Chains A and B, each alone.
Chain A
Amino acid sequence: MKAKPVEPVDGIGQKLVPDAFTLVLAILSVIPLGIPGYAQVTPNFVLMSIYYWTIYRPDHLPYLVVFLIGLLVDLLTFGPAGVTPFALLIVRATVLSQRKFFVGKNFPILWWGFAIVTAAVTLLIWCVGSLYSGRLLDPRSFAFQAVLTAAFYPVLSWAFSRVQRVMTR
């Protein structure tokens, strides 16, 4: 009964790591970096985080957290509220259903999977956004943002895997 009383706390702490990471990334993505034009094409860091953790630790990033962080992104970026949580929830559900395929695969396949997810999400957000604002939004910045997001994935993925290694030690 009294064995290892510290473990549950550790467990909760570990559980919160993906959530905390995603939250921090959501805030970081609105920070002005002083790079011309960066604000419009900021890579979708939150998407990377959700993709990664859904594959490796789906139990640590529940739907409710995905929804809340998506909503926060919409509120902070002034985008139409509801669009990001909608897209992210679908991403989590889709990736979760394909999880068995991804787990244990080498990195290029995971990256390829992420690129497809990014393209699909960008298309979805563009469609919903255009529908919402009642006119076709300029697709160029969306496309550029998608390319940047896919390109940045290896960096974030590497960082997540380091964190995960520390977590599971």
Chain B
Amino acid sequence: MAPLKSAAQRFAYSALVLLSIALMVIGRADGSLIEHIRTKTSDVLAPVLEAVTQPVTAVTDAVAHVRALTELYRENERLKTENAALMQWQQVARRLDNENSGLRALMNYQPEGSVWFITGRVIGTSGGAFSRNLLINRGTLDSVAKGQAVSAGSGLVGRVTEVGDRAARVLMITDLNSRIPVQIDGNHDRAILAGDNTDRPQLAYVGPHTKINVGDRIVTSGDGGVFPPGMPVGTVASVDGGNIRVEPFADLSRVEYLRVVDFGLAGVLPPDAVPQPKAPRRAKGDAGKGEAGPTP
């Protein structure tokens, strides 16, 4: 009995190792099958993950609450100063808004699609050094779709790359596979923000005559039609020859709640209407995991 059992075990071992290798090869060659299984798994486990994260969120919220209480006075002072500054900006914004609408009327400008958003909670993180992504508790049932932008607080977090009924996967801008068309705020010089699994993504494909300084604001350029132009992304943190690093506005190391935003850009072309060969992957900010179907 024993030798038979060990032979069976050896067979199981070899078969499963081969199966693992086969999975790697299949995943590399055609991501759509693995993506399908992944989406289904996330969907099934979403309620479990949601239930488990609930107490964790409660505890972190409570800690944040206590910390906020102790800093109430200083926070109040800071907010008063900030408010004073913002009031001035409000005046500027109102004036510009008026001017803008006046000019738009003059130009007979067609306004962009309506903005819709939904807030989701992070129920899973990448849990490893491989990739930078998040699982959120919103899916197609909440009208979340592939390609939608995801932001937290003051900046872009990433975009939806996989979506199931109840859960969606967000590829963060720091991920190895993330490529976002951006521009330097103010001078409109274009570049690509390329993640490499570090906290500060790299600014790549910068034009030869572009001058970039530490502290420059980086916003989306709107190229490729994935994100609308002007979404805040981050500031230039370091310029070291050709190695330009961007510090994201959003605190990507601990996001709890995210906003999935649909700018109506998908309304022009449905997600799968663009044939893949014609879709330049880099320019669309679409790479790696999005191989199954180009994002709008």
Q: Give B185-200 as 1s and 0s: 1 = Cβ < 8 Å from A's Cβ atoms.
A: 0000000000011110
Shortest distance from the beta carbon of B195 to any chain A beta carbon, whole Å:
11
Closest to A85 in B: B20
Q: Give A123-137 as 1s and 0s: 1 = Cβ < 8 Å from B's Cβ atoms.
A: 000001100110101
CA distance A79 to B177 in the complex (A): 12
Given contacts A64-B16, A81-B34, A145-B128, 16 further A-B contacts (CB under 8 A): A30-B126, A33-B60, A34-B254, A39-B132, A76-B41, A77-B127, A78-B130, A79-B126, A80-B24, A80-B28, A81-B26, A82-B27, A86-B24, A89-B20, A129-B130, A138-B196
B98 at the interface (CB under 8 A from A): no
Residues in B with CB closer than 8 Å to A89 are 13, 16-17, 20
CB-CB contacts below 8 Å: B112-127 with A: 122-127
Interchain CB contact under 8 A, B27 and A81: yes
CB-CB contacts below 8 Å: A1-43 with B: 27-42
For B20, give its contact among A86, A132, A135 (CB under 8 Å): A86
Interchain CB contact under 8 A, A40 and B38: no
A116 at the interface (CB under 8 A from B): no
The 6 closest A-B pairs by CB, nearest first: A82-B23, A39-B125, A82-B24, A34-B60, A86-B20, A141-B129
User: Known interface pairs A71-B23, A137-B197. Does A31 touch B131 (Cβ–Cβ under 8 Å)?
Assistant: no
A90 at the interface (CB under 8 A from B): yes
16 A-B residue pairs with Cβ-Cβ distance under 8 Å, sorted by A, are: A31-B123, A32-B122, A32-B124, A34-B254, A75-B37, A76-B41, A77-B131, A78-B289, A81-B27, A81-B38, A82-B20, A82-B25, A86-B21, A129-B130, A133-B176, A141-B129
CA distance A32 to B37 in the complex (A): 22
Interchain CB contact under 8 A, B253 and A37: yes
CA distance A71 to B42 in the complex (A): 13
CB-CB contacts below 8 Å: B1-46 with A: 9, 12-13, 16-17, 19-28, 34, 37-38, 41-42, 45
Closest to B125 in A: A39
Interchain CB contact under 8 A, B24 and A33: no
Shortest distance from the beta carbon of A39 to any chain B beta carbon, whole Å:
4
A121 at the interface (CB under 8 A from B): no
B48 at the interface (CB under 8 A from A): yes
Interchain CB contact under 8 A, B127 and A93: no
For A77, give its contact among B34, B48, B128, B254 (CB under 8 Å): B128
Residues in B with CB closer than 8 Å to A83 are 20, 24
Interchain CB contact under 8 A, B129 and A30: no
CA distance A141 to B132 in the complex (A): 12
Closest to B171 in A: A78
Residues in B with CB closer than 8 Å to A111 are none
Q: Chain A's interface: helix, strand, loop or mixed, by majority?
A: helix
Interchain CB contact under 8 A, B19 and A67: yes
Q: Give A62-75 as 1s and 0s: 1 = Cβ < 8 Å from B's Cβ atoms.
A: 11101100111101
B49 at the interface (CB under 8 A from A): yes
Shortest distance from the beta carbon of A88 to any chain B beta carbon, whole Å:
9
Question: Which of B122, B199, B254, B256 is packed against the most chain A CB atoms within 10 Å?
Answer: B254
CA distance A71 to B19 in the complex (A): 11
Residues in B with CB closer than 8 Å to A70 are 20
CB-CB contacts below 8 Å: B265-296 with A: 288-289
A56 at the interface (CB under 8 A from B): no
A102 at the interface (CB under 8 A from B): no
B238 at the interface (CB under 8 A from A): no
Shortest distance from the beta carbon of A84 to any chain B beta carbon, whole Å:
8
For A63, give its contact among B12, B52, B53, B196 (CB under 8 Å): B12
B56 at the interface (CB under 8 A from A): yes
Residues in A with CB closer than 8 Å to B146 are none
